[in-house]
């Protein structure tokens, strides 16, 4: 037998039910092949946010967005790494391990590096938020009409969980699978935006799947979600958002694989201007780059639709 921990075997041999019993998680009720109750990770008060699937041996909390295998659960409960969680499980249940802790750490580091190089991604969510209101006053105030909100799945969410009482914005991967929801505050509370823990924003380009589906060889690049919604609403559906003012290597690769011309329409402030110069210099060696001059102190979602159309027309000239 190999002298290291077989993580796959450990996840299969140690049951989620046994781990929950070890932690003496209170008031879990059984429904078919699930255990349902309050989340022991974030100590939630709702009695239905936490679900443990006994046949799949995984868990998920719809409030704090934690989820995964028994290893992920122990790591979250103990605030430790996956290899440290594995050692705890071995100590508690005597499963899956023969060898030293140092050997486990070395093996895990090698495996983690292979995963990072080959399969790093934001996994699709196993759920979808329901009862999202696309006609909320906040969206109207931001100039987003109901048709656009419905198309993007954007709206006010009053249900349970991390994003309750916020405008939720589905973030899709290149295939259109929802990998996260961003939650925008509507009442001035902080943080302005909430994203789930573990979501890697730098791996995604907001609205990439819709923009690439248009068949356009040109793409408009903006900073924020609402910039993207408003530009799309202005009749320019080949628009994407970086979800910030920086361009990651993964985002650069995704754009260059799909488009020949990039139009930067970043905010008209010092940060946006500087980012436009940096990104344009970086991309100009590999594609055609144009910078659309958003008026000083403005951002695209604050402009009239006619002004956005004029900026696009000038960039194409």
Q: In a 3-state reduction of DSSP, which class is residue 282?
A: helix
The pLDDT of residue 184 is 97
Kindly state the DSSP code that residue 51 receives in the 8-state scheme.
E
User: What would the pLDDT profile of 206-215 be if each residue is shown by its tens digit?
Assistant: 999 999 999 9
What kind of fold does domain 132-203 have according to CATH? DNA primase DNAg catalytic core, N-terminal domain (3.90.980)
Q: Counting every residue, how long is the chain?
A: 317
pTM: 0.65
Whether 262 has a pLDDT exceeding 80, the answer reads yes
What number is the average pLDDT over the span 139-162?
96
The pLDDT of residue 171 is 98
Q: How does residue 101 score in pLDDT terms, banded at 50, 70 and 90?
A: very low
Mean pLDDT of the chain: 88
Treating both helix axes as pointing N-terminal to C-terminal, what angle do 70-78 and 82-93 enclose, rounded to 10 degrees? 100
Whether 100 has a pLDDT exceeding 50, the answer reads no
The pLDDT of residue 94 is 64
CA distance 200 to 128: 19
Whether 306 has a pLDDT exceeding 80, the answer reads yes
What number is the average pLDDT over the span 146-157?
98
Chain region(s) in the chain for CATH 3.40.1360.10: 208-316
Within 13 Å, how many C-alpha atoms sit on residue 221's CB side?
29
Range from 61-70, 118-127, 198-207, 213-222 carrying the lowest mean pLDDT: 118-127
Q: How does residue 294 score in pLDDT terms, banded at 50, 70 and 90?
A: very high
The pLDDT of residue 14 is 85
**Structural contact between residues 58 and 51, judged by C-beta atoms closer than 8 angstroms:** no
What number is the average pLDDT over the span 221-249?
97
Pick the CATH number of 208-316 from 3.30.300.30, 3.40.190.10, 3.40.1360.10, 1.10.1740.10: 3.40.1360.10
The pLDDT of residue 95 is 53
Chain region(s) in the chain for CATH 3.90.980.10: 132-203
Whether 60 has a pLDDT exceeding 90, the answer reads yes
Q: Domain 7-118, what architecture?
A: Alpha-Beta Complex (3.90)
Chain region(s) in the chain for CATH 3.90.580.10: 7-118
190 class by beta-carbon count within 10 Å (0-12 exposed, 13-18 middle, 19+ buried): exposed
Whether 115 has a pLDDT exceeding 60, the answer reads no
Q: Give Cβ neighbours of residue 192 (< 8 Å, ≥ 6 apart).
A: 184, 185
């Amino acid at each position: 037998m190999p002298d290291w921990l077989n993580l796959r075997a450990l996840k299969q041999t140690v049951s989620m039910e046994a781990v929950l019993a070890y932690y003496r998680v209170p008031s879990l009720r059984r429904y078919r092949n699930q255990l349902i109750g309050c989340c022991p990770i974030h100590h939630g008060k709702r009695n239905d946010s936490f679900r443990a699937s006994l046949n799949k041996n995984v868990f998920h909390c719809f409030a704090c967005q934690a989820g995964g295998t028994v290893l992920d659960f122990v790591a979250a409960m103990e605030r430790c790494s996956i290899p440290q969680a594995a050692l705890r499980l071995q100590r508690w249940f005597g499963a899956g391990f023969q060898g030293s802790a140092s050997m486990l750490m070395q093996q895990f580091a090698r495996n983690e590096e292979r995963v990072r190089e080959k399969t790093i991604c934001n996994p699709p969510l196993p759920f979808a938020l329901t009862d999202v209101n696309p006609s909320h006053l906040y969206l109207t105030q931001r100039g987003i009409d109901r048709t656009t909100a419905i198309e993007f799945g954007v709206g006010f969410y009053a249900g349970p969980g991390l994003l309750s009482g916020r405008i939720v914005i589905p973030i899709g991967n290149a295939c259109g699978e929802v990998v996260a929801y961003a939650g925008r505050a509507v009442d001035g509370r902080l943080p302005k935006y909430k994203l789930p823990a573990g979501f890697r924003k730098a791996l995604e380009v907001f609205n990439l799947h819709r923009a690439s589906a248009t068949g356009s060889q040109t793409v408009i690049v903006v900073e924020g979600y609402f910039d993207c919604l408003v530009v799309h609403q202005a009749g320019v559906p080949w628009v994407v958002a970086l979800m910030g003012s920086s361009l990651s290597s993964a985002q650069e690769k995704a754009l260059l694989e799909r488009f020949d011309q990039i139009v930067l329409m970043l905010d008209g402030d010092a940060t946006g201007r500087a980012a436009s110069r940096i990104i344009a210099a970086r991309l100009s060696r590999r594609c055609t780059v144009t910078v659309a001059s958003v008026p000083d102190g403005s951002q695209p979602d604050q402009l009239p639709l006619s002004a956005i159309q004029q900026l696009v027309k000038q960039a194409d000239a």
